[in-house]
Chain A
Amino acid sequence: MQAAATKESIFQVNDLNLWYDDYHALKDVNLEALNNEIYAIIGPSGCGKSTFIKTLNLMINTVPGVRMTGEINYKEKNLLDSRVDLVDLRRNVGMIFQKGNPFPQSIYDNIVYGPKIHGIKKKSELDEIVETTLKDVALWDEVKDRLKSSAMGLSGGQQQRLCIARALATKPDVVLMDEPTSALDPISTLKIEELMTELKKKYCIVIVTHNMQQASRISDKTAFFLHGHVVEATETSKLFSNPEDKRTEDYISGRFG
């Protein structure tokens, strides 16, 4: 418990409300995500969990007709303040999507894409980024001899790990993952899960997952979303063994969802 006290707060969300035009998708959401922890978001389809994770790097702004009130504090800076620099924010808050979405370019070019546009030009520096990030995602040994071949030739699991490497290449402090393993087979899923446990030593991770076993296996804290509300948000071990709310219990025991 002593270690927990020193963990830095990365995201503090206060009374977040979100509307898609007239549809009230998130209702008074309160959450705090700490550094070096995995925060899992679970809930049935349409409960707002994907919407929520997209607010953390403001990717939600690409959806027309979105309105938000409340506060999303990222390192004590409110993202709903209009002066937030999206480029800076998204460089620091990386995001992994449901399906691996590498660019139709070489493995190397995929990883240096972000750093290059953000101004790193030196070949040696880029080479180093490629090597470290690929090692971070445990892909280096598999692809080191074919860095120049197309990323589209990798398997689904490899593509997803490449995308994680690509996100790490811009040196973020947070990695958001939106159901990162839902399109993968069990073995690839296991690899990604091991990877997350490894990554949390350096990053704050927020993951949306459909898979309750996954949440209980890897996360430190879990929030249960239902109809846009946070029903319960607490330590993962507590939420799964001794939920306070009846609806949480019904959900995790598989009675609905």
Chain B
Amino acid sequence: MNSRITDRIATGIFYTIAAIMVALLLYLFYFILSNGVPQISWDFLTSPSSAYQAGGGIRDQLFNSFYILFITMIITVPLGVCGGVYMAEYAKPGKITNFIRTCIEMLASLPSIVVGLFGLLIFVNITGWGYTIIGGALALTIFNIPVMVRVTEDAINSVPKELKEASLALGITRWHTIKTVLLPYAFPGILTGAILASGRVFGEAAALLYTAGLSTPTLDYGNWNPLAENSPLNIFRPAETLAVHIWAVNTQGLIPDIREVANGAAAVLVIAVLVFNILARWLGSVIHKKLTASK
């Protein structure tokens, strides 16, 4: 009787905690979206921000966010996947591997403002680039690589051992086994991880404050020459992202419609991250089904 009551109490506690979590999330979404969505309009999304007058949009910030995300992933994914393959397949258990693992975990848990200051030192000052997109992307890479390494390692370790054995027993080399069996099978997991990491990059502000900067030059979206000063594709220009913009408007904005812009930008940001997460789950399950389906 006693153990039955404890069991019931435990069940109740877990349900309550789950309910609190869901309620908190729903309230947060409701709060951000109900304040922000009314501010979002086509005009808001497609006009440049203004420094003093009301009615500025977030066009450049939105573009910058996606562009920095893109550049970051181009750097992060190959490095992270290679690192994960190394950790899963090549690293021998021992002191050195444990040391590497500790380093990776430390890197993942660095406060992003510290990474930002480190970026300021290395990518802004020592290189002499100033505030740049590439500097921001490299700073974001620093704390995204551990995530990608971890995700890849887990995905590869979750490939059934029998498949790996089957390949090795056919006289296939380790590299070919990784390439033709392990990576394709681990792909949904790696993709999901990459998209989830994207969500994090998209919402990051602190690491970008001192690396990609707080301003954006006047951009000409017709200019596709990546070397031109006013080209949106130039990676050596400063770029204020959406998350940074929210922070900047709130702390040092001079426009009269601070609240509206901040709320609208926050809603766009939250929606984007939400879409990333849903996309990750959906794509992961679709590909997994395709790989393992019976017909």
Q: Which residues of A contact B (CB under 8 A)?
A: 57, 59, 62, 64, 86-92, 94-95, 97, 99, 101-104, 113-114, 117-118, 149-150, 152-153, 163, 166-167, 170
Contacts and interface: CB of A to CB of B under 8 A. Distances in A.
B118 to A, nearest CB: 37
Nearest to A154: B294
B162 A114 contact: no
B166 A163 contact: yes
Given A59-B165, A64-B93, A117-B180, A167 B170 contact: yes
A150 B166 contact: no
Interface stretch (B6-14, B171-179, B234-242, B266-274): B171-179
B98 to A, nearest CB: 15
Contact of B92 (A64, A90, A94, A153): A64
Contact of B165 (A97, A150, A153): A97
Contacts of A59: 165, 168-169
B170 A91 contact: yes
B293 A88 contact: no
Contact of A153 (B169, B172, B294): B294
Given A64-B92, A150-B293, A153-B295, A97 B162 contact: yes
Interface in B171-202: 171-173, 176, 180-181, 185
A92 B92 CA distance: 28
Interface of B (DSSP majority class): helix
Interface of A (DSSP majority class): helix
B163 A152 contact: no
Contact of A149 (B172, B173, B295): B295
Contact of B176 (A102, A117, A150): A117
Contact of A90 (B162, B169, B291): B169
B292 interface: yes
A143 B170 CA distance: 22
Contact of A62 (B162, B168, B170, B171): B168
A101 B93 contact: no
B293 A101 contact: no
Contact of A113 (B180, B185, B292): B180
A150 B170 contact: no
B171 A86 contact: yes
18 contacts: A57-B169, A59-B168, A59-B169, A62-B165, A62-B168, A64-B92, A90-B168, A94-B169, A95-B169, A101-B165, A103-B166, A103-B181, A104-B292, A113-B172, A118-B171, A152-B293, A153-B295, A170-B171
